[in-house]
């Protein structure tokens, strides 16, 4: 017999602890049970944020950041809904980033960060790079603005770098910030916010373009919301998740406009 293909859901964006992953597992397992009863093929959950997964032929559904969606992935996948969170810095399907410094820092605003060291989770992150670049571009900087920019690999690592004084400032996705605060309050007590970025559409759930013609998008969103309602209240609270709302690719165009503003302002790179 040949190998049986395994469709999978990539859901690693906000699953950086065992209990968060467990809550997402409850939700997506319930969602899979609500799918077509005639579809008996098992769907595997993969708690990984690797963009390569979103281009895998076996992808059923994925969760990604809006910046790589618009810059690298929009020809392979298409957004159909967005999780709506109830945390400071969100507004319906929109979210923002907190600009943070160490709790004992004298910095009170971004324009005081000239020649300081910045942390960013990844160069292709909307919440860690793009919105910070946009905010600095609005200050009419003469590049370079920072003395150095350190790539940390995650929002958690960026927050740690600011907390321990390795870096001076970072932009942290407001949902990640809340989840980190829930799990490591003593760490978050070592930083403070000096403001929020502009709001953009939250991290979308996406489908492969190859499957979009056969997908009932309205039913998928309905099933996600039903699955959320079916999990224990404690899991909903743990995720700070209110529901799922439909989105289209056009909802993410403002992310590109933030980049274009920075480029037009003579600040194309976060430096």
pLDDT digits over 229-271, tens only?
A: 999 999 999 999 999 999 999 999 999 999 999 999 999 999 9
Let me know whether 65 and 137 are in one domain: no
The answer as to whether 151 is a domain residue is yes
**100 in the same domain as 82:** no
Same domain as 236, residue 194: no
What is the percentage of the chain residues whose pLDDT exceeds 90? 90
- Give CA–CA dist 25/28, Å, rounded: 5
Q: Which residues contact 42 (CB under 8 A, 6 or more apart)?
A: 6, 7
29 token code pair: 């397992």
Is 270 domain-assigned? no
| E-strand stretches of 142-259 | 148-151, 169-173, 191-196, 200-201, 205-208, 241-246
- Mean pLDDT for all residues in the chain: 95
* Between 210 and 40, the higher pLDDT residue: 210
8 A C-beta contact, residue 132 and residue 118: yes
Report the C-alpha gap between 199 and 225 in whole angstroms.
23
Report residue 2's pLDDT band, with 50, 70 and 90 as the boundaries: very low
pLDDT at 40 over 90: no
Together in a domain, 73 and 142: no
* pLDDT(143) > 90: no
pLDDT tens readout for residues 177-189: 999 999 999 999 9
Q: What is the pLDDT at residue 42?
A: 78
Q: Are residues 109 and 195 in the same domain?
A: yes
What are 193-206's pLDDT values in tens digits?
Answer: 999 999 999 999 99
Question: Taking residues 16-35, what's their average pLDDT?
Answer: 95
Radius of gyration for the chain, computed over Cα atoms and rounded to the nearest angstrom: 19
Structural domain boundaries enclosing 161? 94-200+257-264
pLDDT of residue 224: 98
Q: What does the pLDDT average to over 57-78?
A: 96
The pLDDT of residue 188 is 99
Q: 250-254: long-range contacts (C-beta < 8 A, 24 or more apart)?
A: 251/79, 251/82, 251/93, 251/201, 251/204, 252/66, 252/69, 252/70, 252/79, 252/200, 252/201, 252/204, 253/70, 254/200, 254/201
Residue 181 sits in a domain of what CATH number?
Answer: 3.40.190.10
pLDDT tens for residues 205-234? 999 999 988 889 999 999 999 999 999 999
Does residue 169 sit within a domain?
yes
Has residue 1 got a pLDDT over 70? no
pLDDT at 5 over 50: yes
Contact at 8 Å (CB) between 74 and 30? Answer: no
Residue 41 pLDDT level (bands cut at 50, 70, 90)? low
Number of domains in the chain: 2
Give me the pLDDT at residue 49, please: 86
2 lies in some domain: no
> Does 75 lie in the same domain as 16?
yes
Looking at the structure, tell me whether residues 82 and 127 fall in a common domain.
Answer: no
Does residue 99 share a domain with residue 192? yes
Residues 207 and 80 in one domain: yes
């Amino acid at each position: 017999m040949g190998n049986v293909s395994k469709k999978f859901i990539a859901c690693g964006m906000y699953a950086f602890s065992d209990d968060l992953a467990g809550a997402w597992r409850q939700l997506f397992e319930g969602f899979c049970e609500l799918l077509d009863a005639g579809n008996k093929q098992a769907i595997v959950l993969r708690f990984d944020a690797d963009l390569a997964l979103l281009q895998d032929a076996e992808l059923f559904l994925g969760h990604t950041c809006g910046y790589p969606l618009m810059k690298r992935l929009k020809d392979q996948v298409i957004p159909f809904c967005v999780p709506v969170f109830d945390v400071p810095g969100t507004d319906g399907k929109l979210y923002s980033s907190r600009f943070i410094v160490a709790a004992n820092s004298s910095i009170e605003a971004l324009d005081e960060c000239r020649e300081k060291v910045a942390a960013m989770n990844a160069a292709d992150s909307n919440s860690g790079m793009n919105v910070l670049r946009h905010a600095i571009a609005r200050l009419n900087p003469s590049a370079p603005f920072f003395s150095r920019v350190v790539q940390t690999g995650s929002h958690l690592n960026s927050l740690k770098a600011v907390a321990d004084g390795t870096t001076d400032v970072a932009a942290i996705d407001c949902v990640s910030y809340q989840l980190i605060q829930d799990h490591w309050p003593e760490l978050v007590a070592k930083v403070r916010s000096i403001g929020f970025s502009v709001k953009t559409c939250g991290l979308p759930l996406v489908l492969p373009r190859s499957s979009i013609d056969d997908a009932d998008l309205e039913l998928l969103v309905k099933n996600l919301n039903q699955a959320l309602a079916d999990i224990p209240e404690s899991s909903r609270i743990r995720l700070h998740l209110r529901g799922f709302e439909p989105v289209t690719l056009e909802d993410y165009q403002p992310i590109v406009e933030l980049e274009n503003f920075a480029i037009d302002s003579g600040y194309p790179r976060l430096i």
